Structure 1
């Protein structure tokens, strides 16, 4: 299975990357360029599940509620990737480690090369597309201009307070608001999604209608 496209796709998800960042003085004078290493994309996705104070651009004034909420989208995508990669490695399951997805994917690649050197090109093409899809999902998820906070409300459709992840752990199920915030403080791309059933409300009008529905539901339940 000697296909450079597949190896490139694996590398994109499993190898650390280095950016060269220019440092300047307050007056804009160039000082130097320093290398900054970032973990592998799969590891960055795992790290994004519970954002830390440093993951939102370094603002110490950001509320703890906004910083520390479990990132349900990241957890959902991580769980799906873990499950899919585990299925790929079902014949070499001892090599799978859900806590080390970069290492697991590289071990899968090595094992696939040894066990299936003449794999169907159509299958390789599908795997490359799937790995590149993972890459796009993670890069989109790591966009630091996107903020997320928990609304505290149950979904009006599934009305379920918890969901069970693949490890059997109970995770909270609430409506999560996400939005993009630019350098001038303007917001856009507002979206509300249920942590359990994944139903989404993708426009301001839909979110306003959802708010009215939740208000009416709370009034009827009082």
Structure 2
């Protein structure tokens, strides 16, 4: 099998890039909103985005990959990589280059967990694909909101929207993805912050702020450590 060319390593040298990861229903969007509000109160430019769906093209890809007709596991992985390549090129990198803090709801670790381990395509292959697509861009910080998949999916049960392709993939699929997230975090603690998503929202937000403050230069006075 031909290997993908090795990507350049490391995050952008300008702004601060933070990704939020975890299973469905863990509260990523809530924590992103709270962190963005806190940073903006301190005069920081913040871009809150998501994958897939952070661009006009991404919205089309999101609809196709999550709610469209059947696609194979490899096609699914390639659609996510396509979205990620375009998202980084047109949204993430420009924001980082002007010094903004970029907060994304999911990034390449989701592909490794869901397609690499959940779909059993191979974590190394899926990671290599995403790194190639993004020219090696990695977050300065990845916040993992960890929760029993059964609990997270139960939180979503009352929504009016029908489950998407990943939400309906089965509990064992979600357990494999959870294990993958935890293994990646354990292997790179400098990049990851792992939090128990069953904790109160305010406690989680305080823990996130404590880790983000030194990265952004925002005074950490009053931020619990």
What TM bracket, shorter-length normalisation? Answer: under 0.3
* Bigger share in strand: 1
Q: Which has the larger radius of gyration?
A: 1
Larger relative contact order (Cα-Cα within 8 Å, sequence gap ≥ 6): 2
TM-score w.r.t. the length of structure 2 is: 0.24
